[in-house]
Amino acid sequence: MIDQLHYLLAAFSGVAVGFTLGLIGGGGSVLAVPLMVYVVGVKSPHIAIGTSALAVAVNALAGLASHARHRNVNWRCGASFATAGVLGALAGSSLGKAFDGQKLLFLFALVMLVIALQMYRGRSEEGVEGVVCDRRNLPTVLPYGFGTGMLSGFFGIGGGFLIVPALVKATAMPVYRAVGTSLVAVSAFGLTTAFNYAVSGLVDWVLAGVFIAGGIAGSVAGTVTSRHLSARKGQLNMLFAGLILIVAVYMMYRSGLALFA
């Protein structure tokens, strides 16, 4: 039974995830699962993944509303990408539920290494304004959506670090618009994964609510801070990539010990 201290830790963990998302605009949600397991103390990796997926989805919806107000969302492309991705998320989350929890954490740590490398890489493509998703590019958009949705569902992550470059590659839209559009898919994938886990009783609803509340507060603080540190965003990305790298190595160590004990 998670006591009040653990709920407090969940709130602070939510603040940390929300703050990093608001500060650098992506990648922060990948910390939700390790925070749930190693800080909050959720014993079951599957409950940590299901609960994190719900929290990430709700926080992504809040971010989507902000981007929509600034007209940074290509709704048609986002809906097409997300529709295919929901099918992938259902398949991925079903596979993840059947996977050994410690092996899942170990593979999750490997994915975090990929995320860290992705964040080190700069994106210089300017992209094309006014992109429309139609029958010419849908044969490219839909497979990208399904693939990223499957990975997102399997690991219970938002997947923005995968979705943004996938949208740019598939449609040639500008990165800033891909960031806003990606939140359509992040929300859809997270809700799909959370639903699949909830059906199996693998979502802690109260813990998710506490985490979400902390995430919203952290996101507001991170967004405000981001405006003051906008000139140093590249350095912030590199620092955060280093943090993800350290957490990934720690997760590999802990899950490795559990696997081979």
What pLDDT does 122 receive? 52
CB atoms within 10 A of CB 181: 30
Amino acid at 234: G
Query: What is the percentage of the chain residues whose pLDDT exceeds 70?
Result: 87
218 band by pLDDT with thresholds 50, 70 and 90: confident
Q: Which residue carries 């259902």 as its tokens?
A: 90
Q: Could you state, in order of their start, the residue ranges of all structural domains in the chain?
A: 4-260
Query: Max alpha carbon distance in the chain (Å)?
Result: 55
Gap between the Cα atoms of 248 and 155, Å rounded: 14
Q: Which residue carries 């650098």 as its tokens?
A: 24
Q: pLDDT digits over 40-97, tens only?
A: 989 898 999 999 999 988 888 887 887 788 788 899 999 999 999 999 999 999 998 9
Backbone φ and ψ of 26, nearest 5°? 175, 160
Gap between the Cα atoms of 179 and 161, Å rounded: 9
DSSP structural state of residue 232: G
**Are the CB atoms for 16 and 55 separated by under 8 Å?**
no
212-239 burial, b if ≥16 CB within 10 A, otherwise e?
A: bbbbbebbeebbeebeeeeeeeeebbee
* 3-state DSSP of 55-77: HHHHHHHHHHHHHHHCCCCCHHH
Gap between the Cα atoms of 27 and 37, Å rounded: 18
Mean pLDDT for all residues in the chain = 82
Amino acid at 94: S
Cα distance from N-terminal residue to C-terminal residue, the chain: 25
**Are the CB atoms for 153 and 192 separated by under 8 Å?**
yes
Mean pLDDT for 200-204 is 94
With a CB cutoff of 8 Å and minimum separation 6, the contacts of 246 are: none
**Are the CB atoms for 88 and 142 separated by under 8 Å?**
no
Mean pLDDT for 211-226 is 83
Q: What is the CA radius of gyration of the chain?
A: 17
What pLDDT does 225 receive? 76
What pLDDT does 143 receive? 93
Give the count of alpha carbons within 13 A of 111, CB side only.
Answer: 24
101 band by pLDDT with thresholds 50, 70 and 90: confident
Residue 2 has pLDDT above 60, yes or no: no
Mean pLDDT for 113-133 is 67
Give the count of alpha carbons within 13 A of 93, CB side only.
Answer: 35
Whole-structure pTM value: 0.81
Gap between the Cα atoms of 158 and 161, Å rounded: 8
Phi-psi region of 3 (alpha: psi -120 to 50; beta: other; left: phi over 0): beta
Alpha-carbon dihedral angle through residues 199, 193, 75, 173, given to the nearest 10 degrees: -170
More confident residue, 124 or 259: 259
Gap between the Cα atoms of 37 and 43, Å rounded: 7
Residue 128 has pLDDT above 80, yes or no: no
